[in-house]
Structure formats: structure tokens, C-alpha cells
């Protein structure tokens, strides 16, 4: 005979496994789209290509080319000779909404 506690454990285990599999498949699709992204060169044709795209946005692309820093190069503390730049820093501030049930923002 199967006890109700065993059925509860089996059900919750199946539910969690299903949830984690769904999240895994969702992330795997995103990774596949990124790996299949077209490779574009940073040149004079790039602004025209972006403005011709739908919504003036290219969802996933890999840009190749030489980038010049605005101020100074970033150097790695862990790998000698490795340098990089920050092209754009995006700060997104989310609106806080009061949750009266949890009594928090």
C-alpha cells in the first residue's frame, strides 16, 4: 500500500522535475538562438543595417571589429595582457509597487 505522504512526495518531485525541465528547455532555446546569431562587422554599413531592421533593433548578433575606448582600457587582474572596454552601460530602474499582503515594496 502507498501512503498519502509517499504520494505527496512523488507528486511534488514530478512537479519540480517538470518545472526544472521547462526552464532548461527555455534557456536551451535562447542559447541556440545566440549561437546561430549572424556575425556582423563593425563598419560604415552597420548603421544602415540597423535602421533597416524591424523596430530598428537586431535581436541577436555577434559584432566583430576594432573598438576604441572612450577613456581607458580595462585590464584583467587575473590574465596578464587581457584588455577590454565597456561599450555601453545600461541602468534599468524597476518601479517599486507596494505589496500590501507581504507589507513590502
Query: Could you report the per-residue pLDDT of 14-64, keeping only the tens digit for each?
Result: 999 999 999 999 999 989 988 888 888 888 888 898 889 888 888 778 888
Residue with cell 577590454: 84
pLDDT value for 3: 94
Q: Band of the pLDDT at 13, cuts 50, 70, 90?
A: very high
Burial tier of 58 (Cβ tally within 10 Å: 0-12, 13-18, 19+) = middle
Contact 67, 73 (CB under 8 A): no
Who wins on pLDDT, 2 or 14?
A: 14
Alpha carbons 58 and 29: distance in angstroms, whole number: 18
Amino acid at each position: 500500500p502507498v501512503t498519502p505522504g509517499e504520494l505527496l512526495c512523488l507528486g511534488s518531485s514530478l512537479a519540480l522535475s517538470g518545472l526544472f525541465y521547462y526552464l532548461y528547455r527555455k534557456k536551451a532555446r535562447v542559447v541556440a538562438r545566440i549561437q546561430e546569431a549572424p556575425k556582423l562587422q563593425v563598419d560604415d554599413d552597420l548603421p544602415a543595417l540597423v535602421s533597416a531592421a524591424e523596430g530598428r533593433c537586431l535581436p541577436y548578433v555577434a559584432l566583430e571589429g576594432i573598438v576604441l575606448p572612450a577613456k581607458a582600457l580595462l585590464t584583467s587582474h587575473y590574465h596578464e595582457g587581457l584588455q577590454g572596454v565597456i561599450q555601453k552601460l545600461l541602468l534599468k530602474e524597476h518601479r517599486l509597487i507596494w505589496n500590501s499582503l507581504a507589507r513590502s515594496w
